[in-house]
């Protein structure tokens, strides 16, 4: 192997150690700078929590990883976002495939006004997959992964809108899993749910990291400390501190982090 080739192989294997990478990322909405130069590496098969006061850029930053900001008026970014070592803003990136690889779960459960079955099968059907046995099998395995199967297996043709909020959110996670992403972005996925549904989703997230890389924005400090491996504290468009969750919550380096986690502002 030539020296150059060897070096590029080494470089790409270093990059691949991290599932997601941001290099000096800056974001503007028109003239307003929402992200002020953030670099960060996110490890595979871990849960990474984004915390920080409202308006500090958590959602903006999260949405960069599946290019959900692309259609926002006035949005502009600089810097690089890499997934598995590839720059996802390159011209030849297929954004549909990217979003299949990087699924997203939102704050408010947003099932389609369709049956439970159709909700989970939706992403597969738009990919042109039609085989009934395959769809049935994938719907069942996805619903099992979110521990919803036993609750709905006799009602697959009922409207998803008839489910409780917590069930709807688990359904939305099942819909995301059905297309087999490797990364799941979650933006405050339990903030509209009751404590029992929240506990179920937390348990689920903890379990899912065996197969997926999960990034979760949360307002709830206890939630971040319960379910995440690493925590990133954002403030006014900057990444202030990023470390093992235990360290952030027991012995943070920065005063701003300490003030936030002890509830002095936010
Ligand atoms: N579509 C948008 N147009 C203009 N400004 C926006 C838009 N979305 C977010 N912002 C602004 O960018 C900043 C970061 O917002 P956001 O990423 O939603 O923060 P967080 O999720 O931490 O609450 C805020 O000041 C917000 O008002
Ligand atoms: Mg937000």
Q: How much distance in Å is there from the Cα of 128 to the middle of ligand 2?
A: 33
Name the residue of 30, 34, 49, 235 to mutate for ligand 1: max ligand atoms within 8 A of Cβ: 34
The per-residue pLDDT for range 131-181, each reduced to its tens digit, is 999 999 999 999 999 999 999 999 999 999 999 999 999 999 999 999 999
| pLDDT band at residue 263 using 50, 70 and 90 as cut-offs | confident
Q: How much distance in Å is there from the Cα of 38 to the middle of ligand 1?
A: 16
The 3-class SS string of 124-184 reads HHHCCCCCHHHHHHHHHHHHHHCCCHHHHCCCCCCEHHHCCHHHHHHHHHHHHHHCCCCEE
Rounded to the nearest 5°, which phi and psi values hold at 251? Answer: -150, 60
Q: How much distance in Å is there from the Cα of 28 to the middle of ligand 1?
A: 10
Mean pLDDT of 67-90: 96
Angle (CA) 229 53 26, round 5° = 80
Least distant ligand from the CA of 61: 1
> How distant, in Å, are the alpha carbons of 13, 54, 113, 199, 216 from that of 265?
41, 11, 40, 26, 21
Long-range CB contacts (< 8 A, 24+ apart) of 146-151? 146/170, 146/171, 146/173, 146/174, 146/177, 146/204, 147/200, 147/203, 147/204, 148/174
What is residue 257's three-state secondary structure?
A: helix
The per-residue pLDDT for range 151-164, each reduced to its tens digit, is 999 999 999 999 99
Closest-CA residue to 230 (of 240, 241, 219) = 241
Closest-CA residue to 51 (of 190, 236, 246, 216) = 216
Q: How much distance in Å is there from the Cα of 65 to the middle of ligand 2?
A: 14
Going by alpha carbons, the residue nearest to atom 25 of ligand 1 is: 55
The DSSP letter of residue 3 is: H
Would you give the distance in Å from CA 162 to the centre of its chain? 26
Name the residue of 29, 220, 260 to mutate for ligand 1: max ligand atoms within 8 A of Cβ: 29
Report the C-alpha gap between 203 and 60 in whole angstroms: 26
Least distant ligand from the CA of 232: 1
What is residue 209's three-state secondary structure?
A: coil
How many Cα atoms sit within 13 Å of 3 on the Cβ side?
0
pLDDT at 166: 95
Q: How much distance in Å is there from the Cα of 58 to the middle of ligand 2?
A: 6
The per-residue pLDDT for range 213-227, each reduced to its tens digit, is 999 999 999 999 999
Q: How much distance in Å is there from the Cα of 218 to the middle of ligand 2?
A: 9
Residues flanking ligand 1, CB < 6 Å? 29, 32, 34, 52, 54-60, 72, 74
Going by alpha carbons, the residue nearest to atom 8 of ligand 1 is: 60
Q: Are 77 and 25 in contact (CB under 8 A)?
A: yes
Residue whose structure tokens are 């984004």: 50
Q: What percent of the chain has pLDDT over 70?
A: 94
The per-residue pLDDT for range 11-66, each reduced to its tens digit, is 555 555 679 999 999 999 999 999 999 999 999 999 999 999 999 999 999 999 99
Q: What are the strands of the beta sheet with 86-87, ordered from one edge?
A: 32-42, 20-29, 75-83, 86-87
Structure tokens at 125: 């059907």
What is residue 210's three-state secondary structure?
A: coil
Length of the chain: 266
pLDDT at 266 over 70: no
Beta partners for 19? none
Closest-CA residue to 40 (of 197, 243, 191) = 243
């Amino acid at each position: 192997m030539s020296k150059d080739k060897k070096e590029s192989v080494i470089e790409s294997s270093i990059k691949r150690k991290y599932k997601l990478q941001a290099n000096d990322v800056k974001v503007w909405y028109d003239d307003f700078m929402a992200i002020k130069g953030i670099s960060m590496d996110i490890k595979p098969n871990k849960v990474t929590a984004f915390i920080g006061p409202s308006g500090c850029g958590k959602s903006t930053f999260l949405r960069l990883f599946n290019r959900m900001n692309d259609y926002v008026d006035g949005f502009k970014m600089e810097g690089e976002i890499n997934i598995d070592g590839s720059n996802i803003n390159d011209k030849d990136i297929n954004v549909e495939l990217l979003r299949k690889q990087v699924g997203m779960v939102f704050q408010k459960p947003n099932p389609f006004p369709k049956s439970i079955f159709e909700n989970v099968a939706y992403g597969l059907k738009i990919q042109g997959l039609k085989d009934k046995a395959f769809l049935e099998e994938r719907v069942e395995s996805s619903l099992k992964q979110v521990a919803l199967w036993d609750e709905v297996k006799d009602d697959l043709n009922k409207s998803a809108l008839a489910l409780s909020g917590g069930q709807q959110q688990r359904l939305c996670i099942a819909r995301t899993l059905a297309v087999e992403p490797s990364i799941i972005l979650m933006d405050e996925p339990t903030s509209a749910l009751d404590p029992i549904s929240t506990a179920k989703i937390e348990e689920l997230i903890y379990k899912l990291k065996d197969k997926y890389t999960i990034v979760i924005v949360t307002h709830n400090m206890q939630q971040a400390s319960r379910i995440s491996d690493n925590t990133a504290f954002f403030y006014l468009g900057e990444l202030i501190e990023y470390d093992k969750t235990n360290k952030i919550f027991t012995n943070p380096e920065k005063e701003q982090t300490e003030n936030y986690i002890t509830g002095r502002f936010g």
